[in-house]
């Protein structure tokens, strides 16, 4: 596993800006790299990306010099393992609501002694066992893999203080869409009370000395960055819509 440049950037106190992809296009991932983004979120929870496609998209990210992070379909350890073994340099795990959930995520990502991930050094993540000992591979994975947990339900926010105490988590991501739904405002993450809750949670994460993350409209992301977010991303359709609007306006 190569050094995780995006994780290093976050740990150095700098923001890492990414783009979420929900459909299996290596070419789009290459474009994201060429456009100067730091990382790509390969989203297997939503959209049409399967496990085989994950591997191709990870390859495209590596060639393009950006960090591939995958959102697995669920927080199940098997789902996490399958995307990591294909070379993902981190996971953004959905629906983490308790400290127990968070600890289980860390255990699924890390090898012993930090976790309980099943070890197969002959996978793509381990360079198929070529030119790298299993012990070297384990050390690299435990050091370089990024762990991000999604806090996107009212239950998660009620348990925020305990979740923030869990060791081994690099990013605590506040998910606007599902949070709004859990608060009774489906499809309306711009509702003032929802936005207040998002910002209060981001502030609590920063106050605990941890790294927050989130997404949303451009203006919201700009505000989140001012609040200390270092893990943010936009979406391919949003980039296309903005580019199309600018093109039509120019004509």
Catalytic residue numbers read 46
Helices (H), the chain: 5-11, 26-34, 51-64, 77-84, 99-109, 134-144, 154-158, 160-163, 176-182, 192-207, 218-226, 236-250
> Which of 112, 94, 98, 104 minimizes the C-alpha distance to 148?
94
Cα(40)–Cα(67) distance, integer angstroms: 6
Where does residue 207 rank: exposed (0-12), middle (13-18), buried (19+ CB within 10 A)?
exposed
- Joined together, the tokens standing for residue 108 give 């699924």
φ, ψ dihedrals at 39, nearest 5° = -160, 165
Per the rule left: phi > 0, alpha: psi between -120 and 50, beta: everything else, 67 is beta
Q: Helix, strand, or coil here: 124?
A: helix
């Amino acid at each position: 596993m190569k050094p995780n440049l995006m994780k290093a950037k976050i740990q150095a106190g700098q923001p890492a800006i990414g783009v979420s992809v929900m459909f299996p296009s290596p070419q789009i991932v290459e474009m994201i790299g060429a456009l100067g983004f730091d990382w790509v979120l390969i989203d297997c929870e939503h959209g049409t990306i399967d496990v085989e496609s994950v591997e191709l998209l990870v390859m495209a990210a590596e060639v393009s010099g950006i960090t591939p992070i995958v959102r697995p379909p669920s927080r199940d350890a098997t789902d996490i393992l399958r995307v990591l073994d294909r070379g993902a340099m981190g996971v953004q795990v959905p629906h983490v609501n308790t400290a127990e959930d968070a600890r289980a995520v860390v255990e699924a990502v890390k090898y012993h002694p930090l976790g309980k991930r099943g070890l197969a050094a002959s996978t793509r993540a381990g360079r198929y066992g070529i030119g790298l000992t299993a012990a070297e591979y384990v050390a690299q994975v435990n050091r370089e893999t990024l762990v991000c947990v999604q806090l996107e339900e009212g239950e998660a926010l009620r348990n925020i203080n305990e979740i923030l105490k869990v060791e081994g988590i690099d990013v605590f991501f506040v998910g606007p869409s599902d949070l709004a739904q859990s608060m009774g405002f489906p499809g309306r993450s711009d509702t003032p009370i929802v936005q207040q809750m998002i910002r209060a949670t981001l502030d609590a994460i920063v106050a605990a000395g941890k790294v927050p993350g989130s997404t949303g409209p451009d203006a919201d992301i700009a505000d989140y960055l001012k609040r200390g977010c270092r893990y943010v991303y936009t979406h391919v359709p949003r980039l296309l819509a903005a580019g199309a609007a600018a093109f039509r306006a120019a004509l």
